[in-house]
C-alpha cells in the first residue's frame, strides 16, 4: 500500500463550482502522494454530486452528521481526524493551490524535521478591482513581515498582536504537531487559524517559503471577507486567543511579546 505524503482537507458549504476549482488545483499537484478529504457542512449534502463528478480514488467525501453552525474549526478538525498523510493542508473551498505548492511545503518540512509547520506567499485574485488592490497591498506587506521573522516566538507574537501574515490555505502542518496541540479551537468564533498556527509555531518552530503557495479569492462572501461586519466576533476571538497564551506562558512573556510585536515588528 502506497503511503500518503499529504492529506488536503477542504471544508465546504454550498460552493460547488468553486469547490471543483479547488479540487482541480490539488489534483494537478506533482511529486507528492496525496489524498483529498472534502467535508461538507451543509445539511443537505449539497457538494455530494459535485464531488462525485470527479472520478479520482484519492478523493473522500464526508457529510457532517450535524452542521457546525458556522464554526469552521469543527469542520476542519473532522477532516483532520480522517487524514492519513504525514502532513495535513487545510484548503478553503474558494481558494486554489499554486503549481508545485504541496511539494515545496512538504520538502521544506522534510529538510527541517523540528519544524511543525510551513507557510508561504498568498496571491490574491478576483473581479472586484478595489478589493483586489487592497488585498494585494495587504499580502505584499504580509510577505515582507514574514520574511523578517526569526524564531517561533516572533511568528506567535505577530499572529497574536498584528494583522496576520498568513491564511489557512497557505499553511501545512505535520499531522503529529497538529494533533499534539489539540487541533483548531472550536470555541473561537473567527480567526481560529491564527490561534492554531501560533500554537504550533510556538511548540515546534516553522519554515517560511518566499514563493507563491495559494491563490486567495477576494470579493467572495465568507466569514473572513465579512470581518468588518463581525467586529465583535473578531474582538472576542482575539481576547480568547491572547488569554490562552497568557495563561499558558505567563504574564511576563505575554507582555514582552506584545511590546515587541507593536514596537519592533513594523
Locate cell 511543525: which residue?
A: 116
pLDDT tens digit sequence for 156-165? 999 999 889 9
Q: What cell does 253 get?
A: 512573556
- Check pLDDT > 80 for residue 262: no
Give domain limits for the chain.
Answer: 6-263
Please name every residue paired with 206 in a beta bridge, in sequence order, or none if there are none.
117
Candidate from 71-75, 87-91, 92-96, 256-260 with smallest mean pLDDT:
256-260
**What is the pLDDT, as a whole number, of residue 234?**
85
- Write out pLDDT tens, residues 234-252: 888 898 899 898 998 899 8
Mean pLDDT of 99-112: 98
Closest CA to 72 of 159, 15, 21, 12: 12
To the question of pTM greater than 0.85 for the whole model, the response is: yes
φ and ψ at residue 93, rounded to 5 degrees:
-70, -10
Q: What is the per-residue pLDDT for 224?
A: 44
Does domain 6-263 match CATH 3.50.50.60? Answer: no
Q: What does the pLDDT average to over 215-240?
A: 72
Alpha helices in 42-191 (DSSP H): 48-52, 72-81, 101-111, 129-148, 152-161, 175-180
For the beta carbon of residue 72, count every other beta carbon within 10 angstroms: 23
Q: Which residues pair with 35 in a beta bridge?
A: 7
DSSP strand pairing (206-217 vs 117-125): parallel
C-alpha cell at 107: 520538502
Exposed, middle or buried by CB within 10 Å (0-12, 13-18, 19+), for 182?
exposed
Amino acid at each position: 500500500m502506497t503511503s500518503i505524503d499529504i492529506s488536503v482537507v477542504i471544508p465546504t458549504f454550498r460552493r460547488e463550482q468553486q469547490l471543483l476549482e479547488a479540487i482541480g488545483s490539488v489534483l494537478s499537484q506533482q511529486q507528492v502522494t496525496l489524498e483529498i478529504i472534502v467535508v461538507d457542512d451543509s445539511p443537505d449534502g449539497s457538494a455530494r454530486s459535485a464531488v462525485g463528478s470527479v472520478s479520482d480514488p484519492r478523493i473522500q467525501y464526508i457529510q457532517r452528521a450535524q452542521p457546525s453552525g458556522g464554526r469552521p474549526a469543527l469542520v476542519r478538525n473532522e477532516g483532520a481526524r480522517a487524514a492519513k498523510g504525514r502532513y495535513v493542508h487545510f484548503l478553503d473551498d474558494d481558494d486554489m493551490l499554486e503549481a508545485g505548492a504541496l511539494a515545496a511545503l512538504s520538502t521544506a518540512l522534510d529538510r527541517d524535521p523540528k519544524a511543525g509547520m510551513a507557510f508561504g506567499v498568498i496571491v490574491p485574485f478576483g473581479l472586484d478591482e478595489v478589493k483586489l488592490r487592497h488585498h494585494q497591498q495587504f499580502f505584499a506587506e504580509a510577505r515582507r513581515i514574514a520574511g523578517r521573522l526569526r524564531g517561533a516566538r516572533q511568528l506567535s507574537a505577530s499572529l497574536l498582536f498584528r494583522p496576520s501574515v498568513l491564511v489557512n490555505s497557505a499553511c501545512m502542518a505535520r499531522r503529529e504537531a497538529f494533533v499534539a496541540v489539540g487541533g483548531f479551537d472550536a470555541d473561537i468564533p473567527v480567526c481560529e487559524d491564527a490561534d492554531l498556527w501560533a500554537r504550533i509555531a510556538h511548540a515546534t518552530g516553522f519554515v517560511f517559503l518566499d514563493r507563491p503557495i495559494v491563490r486567495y479569492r477576494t470579493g467572495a462572501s465568507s466569514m473572513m471577507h465579512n470581518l468588518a461586519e463581525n467586529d465583535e466576533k473578531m474582538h472576542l476571538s482575539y481576547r480568547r486567543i491572547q488569554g490562552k497564551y497568557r495563561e499558558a506562558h505567563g504574564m511576563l512573556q505575554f507582555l514582552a511579546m506584545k511590546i515587541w510585536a507593536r514596537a519592533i515588528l513594523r
